[in-house]
Amino acid sequence: MPANTSGEHNFSAEVQAIKDNSSQVLQQIYTDNYSAAERYILQNNGSTEEAKDIFQEAFIAVWKNIQLEKFVPQNEQSLKAYLFQVSRNKWISHLRSSAYKKTAPLKYDAQETADDEPNDTASEYISAISKNMQKLGENCRDVLTRFYYEKESLRTIAAFFGWTEATARNNKYRCIEKLRNLLKNEKI
């Protein structure tokens, strides 16, 4: 039991050092936790530069929350978990931001359709999407229409269907994959 009390005391001292802006403690926390956030961001379509920016924003947010006592870490693991979660949430927000959205949800391969006129190909592609959207179930049509055409957030879609945000994300992914497979079968 005394060892545990000692460990808690050491961690309380670390929290106080954070509040006191101890550069040594802050640098150590930064160094110890950066790699997990960077790995997550790199695995989720990010770059090293983006990972650095996102982690720095997350680190500052966590530091502020500790300063304002909005977050009081109970141990080192809770601090690490909170810092990672804030980094993860900031990255997800970045991915959803209009600044990041620069790719079209469905693309056709210009090589496969090189013999066609560009306008005819685009018209055929749009027509194929329309036709194949009708082959999807009603929920899939609604999810894809709301997300891609009406630009609704996954949170809004989840609320509409009574799902969690994770379920909405998974369903959107499954639906877009079904649509892509239907389009592949038509060789558009």
Tell me the range of 35-44, 119-128, 144-153 where mean pLDDT is highest: 35-44
Q: Which of 67, 68, 63 is nearest to 82 (CA)?
A: 63
Q: How confident is the model at residue 118 (pLDDT cuts 50, 70, 90)?
A: very low
Q: Give the residue extent of every domain in the chain.
A: 2-96, 118-186
Q: What is the CATH number of domain 118-186?
A: 1.10.10.10
What sign results for the dihedral spanned by CA atoms 43, 45, 51, 54?
negative
Q: Which of 101, 78, 71 is nearest to 11 (CA)?
A: 78
- Domain 2-96 and domain 118-186 have a common topology: no
Question: Mean pLDDT over residues 24-35, rounded?
Answer: 92
Q: Which of 71, 81, 87, 79 is nearest to 25 (CA)?
A: 79
What sign results for the dihedral spanned by CA atoms 167, 154, 105, 42?
negative
pLDDT for 100: 57
Longest dimension (CA), the chain: 79
Per-residue pLDDT tens digits for 162-181: 989 888 888 888 888 888 88
Tell me the range of 57-66, 100-109, 115-124 where mean pLDDT is highest: 57-66
List for the chain the helix, strand, coil content (%; round to 5).
Answer: 75, 0, 25
Given a cut of 80, whether residue 107 has pLDDT beyond it is: no
Question: Domain 2-96 is in which class?
Answer: mainly alpha
Contact 80, 33 (CB under 8 A): yes
